[in-house]
Amino acid sequence: MNKKILRSPFFIWLNRLLKNSKLEFINRDKKLSLGYMSVCTNIKFGFYNKTYANVHLTNVEIGDFTYIAENSKISNCKIGKYCSIGPDVMIGLGKHPSRMFVSSHPVFYSTNNQTGITFTKECRFNEYEPINIGHDVWVGARAIILDGVSIGHGAIIAAAAVVTKDVAPYSIVGGNPAKEIRKRFDGSQIDFLIQFKWWEKNIEWVQNNYQHFNDINKFISQHTQKDLK
């Protein structure tokens, strides 16, 4: 087929529509919903996942009930259950060397041919590292999470934050580079939630107990050690 036709807006739209319709059909039992012009490559979905318009995902695993808002781009990332990923979020952009190498340009260390040519026959720098996002994490609009970072359960990443290092569970971080603003709960409450692992409960349990989720103290009092696994 003519390359000009393949690159036409109509063909790109049709190709994405067909691919996403196929993905939704294959994952129909999981209630998958893909937004307009979303692009998904090598994705493992959970149950009740949703992407909004123009989301790009590459090498991503998504847990149950996690959604990704419009225009976000995520690569090489494992995302837990009940996560909220805001719009225009960038996760896994790749790296360039900043030490030892004379130049940061990939033509000297990468075989990916970013400019159509490379001077090396082998990869000389690890451009991509996996990213791990725990359960119940909220990533605000326009946040950036760099390669190799791990985000703990229950963390909140403020809008426009640039996360360059690991984030502790139930921490709120913001800024560039992102720094901890505060903890969401006190130490004993955090320990309880991490041990309790409510996100691993089945959907029936969540539906029967959702009313306890609006107050951490009531939640802990309602779900004592007898519920711990």
Render pLDDT for 138-166 as a digit per residue (tens, 0 to 9): 999 999 999 999 999 999 999 999 999 99
225 pLDDT more than 80: no
Report pLDDT for 32: 95
In this structure, are residues 80 and 169 in contact, taking their beta carbons and an 8 Å threshold?
Answer: no
Local confidence band at 4 (pLDDT 50, 70, 90 cut-offs) = low
Highest mean pLDDT among 109-113, 123-127, 200-204, 222-226: 200-204
162, burial (CB in 10 Å: exposed 0-12, middle 13-18, buried 19+): middle
- Round to whole Å and give the CA distance between 171 and 152: 8
Cα→Cα distances 177→92, 160, 161, Å: 16, 10, 7
Other CB atoms within 10 Å distance of the CB of residue 119 = 9
The CA distance from 102 to 87, in Å, is: 36
Catalytic residues, by residue number, are 96
Task: For 33-59, give one letter per residue: b (16+ CB within 10 A) or e.
Answer: ebbeebbbeebebbbbbbbbebbbbeb
What's the mean pLDDT when you consider all of the chain? 92
Mean pLDDT of 2-21: 75
The candidate with the shortest Cα–Cα distance to 83, out of 50, 108, 55, 116, is 50
Q: How confident is the model at residue 88 (pLDDT cuts 50, 70, 90)?
A: very high
